[in-house]
Chain A
Amino acid sequence: MSARRQIQTKRTEEGIALLISIFILLLISIVAIALIVASGTESSLAGNYRSATGVYYAALGGLEEARGRLLTNSASSFKSTAPAGFLPSPGTALQLGYVRFVVNPGPGDGNVLTTYLDNNYLTEFTAGPSDTKTTASIWTSPPLNTSLNFPGPLYKWVRINAVSEQWLRQGLGQDVFPFDGTIDPTPLFYDGTKLTDDPSSGSQVLEITSLAVLPNGSQKLLQYLIAPGPIALPPFLATLTLSGSPGNGVTFHAPASNSSYAVKGDDYNCSNPPAPSGGNPHAAIGVLTDSNSDIVHVKNGIPTAYQPNYTGVNNPGPYVPDVEDISSSFLPLSLQSPSNLDGLAQSIIQNADAVVITPASSGTPPYLGTATGAALTPLGMSSTNPLTVIVNGNLDISNWSSDGYGLLLVTGTFSYDPDTNWYGIILVIGQGVVHNSQNGQNKQINGAMLVAKTRDLNNQVLAGSNLGGATVQFLDGMGGTGMRYSSCWIQKAQPKGKYKILSFREISQ
C-alpha cells in the first residue's frame, strides 16, 4: 500500500509540464483564431466584391443576349427560335401589357418565373401583364447545353416589353415628341434622335430587364431601353428614280405596246390590291441630273399616247408625263456621288436579312453571276414578313410567279418581268441596269424603285462625283401595270439596323 502511495505522489509532482503545455497551447490557439478571423473577414470582403461584379455581368449577359436575338438576321434570332407570336410581325408594334420572357433556369431552379418572381413589373406599370410568352435562352438550348455543354451566365430571366409615355419617369408619365400635352398609353418609338409616340416616324422602343441570381444569393436587376438604329436610305422622291449626269446619259424605254403600263406617283396604301391613300403625291419618274437633255431623253422613252399614264406631283398640267429633275431635293447632296451611294448600299448589305451570293461569271465584264427567282423562294417573304434581301450580282426573276416583300438590292443587272408583284423598295445600285426578257403577266411594283449606276464595267466604284447613267429598258411587248408609289410599303420595307441602347440603369432591390 505504501509503495502505491509513493508512486501516486511522484505522478502528481510531474503535472507541471502538462499545465505549461496546455497554457502555451491556449495562447497559440488564441493568436491563431485571431489571425483566422482577420483573414476570414478580408476574404469575405474580397468575395463580396467578386460576387457583386459577377452578378452584374451575369445580368448584363442576359440583356445582351436578348438585344442580339431581337435582330432578325441573328443566327438564334427570336424570329427563328421562339414560339409563334413571341414578337409581333414586322411593321406592327408589341402591345403594352404584352410581356415576353427569355428563361435561363439553372439546375434545380424549376420554373424561374415562379422561383424568382418578377416584382419589378408592377412597380413600373399599374396593371399586370395581359399576355405572357416565354422562350428558352441559348444557354439552355442545343448545342450549348448538349454537345458543347458550355456553362452560361447565371441570369434567370430577361423580360421584354413595350413602354409608353405613361411609363416614363417611373410611372409618373412624361410627354414626348410630338408634345401634345397628353400622357398617352401608346407604345413609344425612336426616330434616330429622340423618343416619340408617332408610330410612323421610327422603330418601336423596347424595354429589356434582366435578373441575375448567384448561388450565394447575390441579385442584380438591370434594364435597357433599346430600339433599332435606323439605316439611312436614299430619299424616295419619285416612284422610279434614275441616276444621270452630264456625259452619262440616262436610258429609259417603256413598253411601247402596253396601254396599261403606268408609273404613278400618287400615294397608294398597303391594302391588297393597293388603292390610292390620298397621301402626298410624288414624282412619277425622278432623274438625278442637272441636264435637261436627260429629262427629255426619258420622256422620249415613253410612247406619246401613254404619257398621261405617268402622273405624279405636278399632275394635271404641262408636266405629263411627270418626269422631273429631283437632284436639288435628293438630300443629302453628297449621296449623289458614286462612292457615297455605293457606301450606303454596303451598309444595307451589312444589315440584310438574306444575302444571295452569285458565283462569278467567266463571261463578259463585269463578270457577275446570275441568281434566279428560285433563290428567293426559300426566304419565305410575305406581307407580314418583309425582308431585306441582297443579291450580290445579277438577278433574273423571269417566270418567278411568286411575290416579293421588303427591300431588294441588286448590285448587277435586274431582269424583271411582270409575273411578280413586288411590295416595298427595289434598289438597283451598282451596274444600275433593269430590263426584261419575258413579257410576263399583269403585275406591278408597289413602293418605290431606285436605279443608279455607281460602278463601271469592271465592277469598280466610279471615280469622281458624278453618278453614271441608269438604264431601264423594257421590251415593247412587256405586260404589267407598271409601278405605284406607296409610302406605306416603303415604311414596311425599311431595313433595321442593330438595336441601339437608348438607356441603361441598375434597379435597386
Chain B
Amino acid sequence: MNLAPSDERQHGFTLVELLVALGIFLVITGAAFSLLGTSQKHYQTESQLLTSFQEARLGLDQIVRDVNDAGYPPPTFWDGVQADSASSPFAWSTGAGYPPPGSCQIGTGGGGTCTTATAGDTAPGDFDLIIETNPNPQDPSCVPNCHVQWIRYQLQNTTPLPTLMRGVSAKTNGDPDTITAGQLVPFVQNIVNTQVVQNVTNPLVAQYQAAYPNIFPGGAPVPIFSYTCDNSSPPPQTVLCLGAVGTDNSPANIRDVMITLIVAAPLPDATTGQPRLVMLNGRGRRINPNQ
C-alpha cells in the first residue's frame, strides 16, 4: 500500500500558522467590535438628539398654529360676554393694564412694562407669551361650547435644564397672568435659550452655551419669542416691536411671533462628552384683526 497520500492528509497547520491566523482574526474582530461600539454610541446620541428635535418640532408647530389663530373671534364679534370674543390677540397681566384699551410696552431682557406677578418675567416677553383665541371652535367634544381661551407658553427653571410650559384656561374677567399660571404643564424639555430663567440661574445651561459660541453670540441669551408690530404711521409696514414707537409697541399690535427653540439632548455625546444642541426657528403670523 502506498501510505504517502495518507501522510499528506495529516499535515495540519503549524502552531505558528495558527497563532498568526488567530492574531489576525482577533485584530480584525476587535476592530469590527470597536467600530460597532462607536457606532452604537453615535446612534444612541443621535437618537436622543432626534427625540429632542422631534419634541421641539411638535412644540414649535403647536406654537405657530396657536399664533396663527390668535385673536379669534375678534372684538368685532362682541356680544357683551367677555368669553365670547377675544379682547386682543395676545393678553398680558391685569396689573400691567389688561384689558384694552389698557396697554403695556413690550421689552426684551426683562425690560418693558408688560410685567407679571413672577419676578424677572414679562408677558409678552422673551420667554413668556399668552395667546387669546378660541382654539378649536368646532370640536364636538368641546361641550357645551368652547369659549375663548388663554394659551400660555412660559419658560420655567426645572432640573436639570429649563422647560417650556404650556397651559390653557378659559378667558374670564380675571387676570390672564395669575389664572394661566396655575395651569402650566411641561411642554418642551431641555430648553437652553437662557441661563437665567425668572431671575434664577441654571449652571448647567452655562456649560451648554460655552460649548456653542456660534449659537449664543457673546454668551447672550436667545429669546424664544421675538415680535413684530404693525406700524401705524405711513407707510403701513411691520417693524420690530422694540423699534416701534408709542402705542404701536403693544401686545394688541403684535403681527408676527418669531420663535427660536434651542433644545439640548438629555445626555452629552457618548463619545466626546460634548453637549448636543439643536436649534429650531419658526414664525407664526396673526391674521385676525385686533379691533
Show the binding face of A for B, using Cβ within 8 Å: 2, 5-6, 9, 16, 20, 23-24, 27-28, 30-31, 34-35, 38, 41-42, 45, 48-49, 52, 56, 120, 123-124, 168-170, 172, 174-176, 179, 190, 193-195, 500-508
Contact = CB atoms under 8 A, between A and B. Distances in A.
B5 interface: yes
A2 B144 CA distance: 94
12 contacts: A9-B9, A28-B35, A38-B43, A41-B50, A42-B53, A48-B57, A52-B61, A120-B138, A172-B145, A174-B79, A505-B134, A506-B69
Contact of B76 (A30, A172, A179, A190): A190
A82 to B, nearest CB: 25
Given A27-B32, A56-B68, A176-B79, 6 more contacts: A16-B21, A16-B25, A34-B39, A45-B50, A505-B72, A505-B137
A34 to B, nearest CB: 5
B276 to A, nearest CB: 13
A175 B80 CA distance: 10
| Most chain A beta carbons < 10 A, residue from B35, B47, B137, B139 | B137
A194 B136 contact: no
B206 interface: no
Interface of B: 5, 8-9, 21, 25, 28-29, 32, 35-36, 39, 43, 46-47, 50, 53-54, 57, 61, 65, 68-69, 72-74, 76-80, 84, 134, 136-139, 144-146, 287-289
Given A38-B46, A174-B84, A193 B69 contact: no
Given A6-B8, A31-B35, A508-B139, A194 B289 contact: no
| Most chain B beta carbons < 10 A, residue from A34, A35, A120 | A34
A120 B68 CA distance: 20
Contacts of B35: 27-28, 31
B287 A170 contact: no
A508 B138 CA distance: 8
B69 A195 contact: no
B43 A34 contact: yes
B289 A508 contact: no
Nearest to B54: A45
Contacts of A41: 50, 54
Contacts of A9: 9
B138 A38 contact: no
A20 B72 CA distance: 67
Contacts of A170: 137-138, 145-146
A501 B288 contact: yes
B288 A503 contact: yes
Contact of A176 (B43, B57, B61, B77): B77
B21 A30 contact: no
A-B interface, 4 closest residue pairs, ranked by CB to CB distance from nearest: A504-B287, A31-B39, A2-B5, A505-B72
A377 B103 CA distance: 54
Nearest to A227: B76
Contact of A504 (B21, B25, B53, B288): B288
A27 B138 contact: no
Contacts of A501: 287-289
B53 A45 contact: yes
A27 B139 CA distance: 51
| Most chain A beta carbons < 10 A, residue from B32, B65, B79 | B79
A42 B54 CA distance: 8
A27 to B, nearest CB: 5
Contacts of B47: 38
| Most chain B beta carbons < 10 A, residue from A34, A45, A172, A505 | A505
A508 B136 CA distance: 7
A346 B12 CA distance: 107
A505 B5 CA distance: 92
Contacts of B54: 41, 45
A197 to B, nearest CB: 12
Contacts of B80: 179
B57 A45 contact: yes
A123 B136 CA distance: 13
A195 B61 contact: no
Contact of B68 (A16, A168, A190, A506): A506
A34 B50 CA distance: 13
A20 B47 CA distance: 30
A260 B248 CA distance: 58
Contacts of B137: 169-170, 505
Given A6-B5, A42-B50, A504-B287, A168 B43 contact: no
Given A6-B5, A34-B43, A506-B65, A169 B50 contact: no
A48 to B, nearest CB: 8
Given A31-B35, A170-B137, A170-B145, A194 B50 contact: no
A8 to B, nearest CB: 11
A506 B72 CA distance: 10
Given A38-B43, A172-B145, A193 B76 contact: yes
Given A170-B137, A505-B69, A20 B28 contact: yes
Given A45-B57, A176-B77, A504-B287, A20 B69 contact: no
| Most chain A beta carbons < 10 A, residue from B8, B21, B68 | B68
Contacts of A2: 5
Contacts of B29: 23
A31 B37 CA distance: 10
B41 to A, nearest CB: 12
B50 to A, nearest CB: 6
Nearest to B39: A31
Nearest to B136: A508
Nearest to B81: A174
A445 B287 CA distance: 43
| Most chain A beta carbons < 10 A, residue from B39, B76, B288 | B76
Contacts of A504: 68-69, 72, 287-288
